[in-house]
């Protein structure tokens, strides 16, 4: 069976915990509304979220949290595709 690959992959890192202070997922830095809407977003909307994630990653709040726990986000839309937090990604065990 061939699994289709999304044109703009999910930033999900399968570290699905929400930070209470920032409201961002500790793994991918998305908000709950962004996570919930991901599969219905257009490629342009997904690209806009990726742009926002890059800005969040550069923020002092993210850098402080990253140093204390899991590290930085994966780099851009070359991340393996998936539907969102907790969604199994093709080829990832």
Map tokens 């061939």 to a residue: 2
What pLDDT does residue 18 have? 93
- Please list the ranges in the chain whose pLDDT falls under 70: 2-6, 62-63, 65-93
Q: List Cα–Cα distances, 29 to 46, 71, 76, in angstroms.
A: 14, 11, 13
Predicted confidence at residue 58, as pLDDT, reads 83
Region of residue 41 (left: phi > 0; alpha: psi -120 to 50; beta: else): beta
pTM of the predicted model over 0.75: no
Q: What is the pLDDT of residue 61?
A: 72
Q: Which two tokens stand for residue 84?
A: 């969102």
pLDDT value, residue 64: 72
What pLDDT score was predicted for residue 35?
A: 97
**Euclidean distance between CA atoms 48 and 54, whole angstroms:** 10
């Amino acid at each position: 069976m061939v699994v289709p690959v999304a044109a703009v992959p999910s930033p999900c890192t399968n570290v699905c915990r929400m930070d209470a202070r920032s409201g961002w997922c500790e793994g991918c830095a998305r908000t709950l509304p962004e996570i919930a809407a991901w599969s219905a977003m257009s490629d342009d909307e997904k690209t806009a979220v990726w742009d926002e994630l890059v800005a969040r990653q550069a923020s002092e709040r993210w850098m402080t949290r990253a140093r204390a726990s899991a590290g930085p986000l994966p780099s851009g839309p070359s991340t393996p595709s998936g539907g969102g937090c907790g969604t199994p990604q093709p080829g990832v065990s």
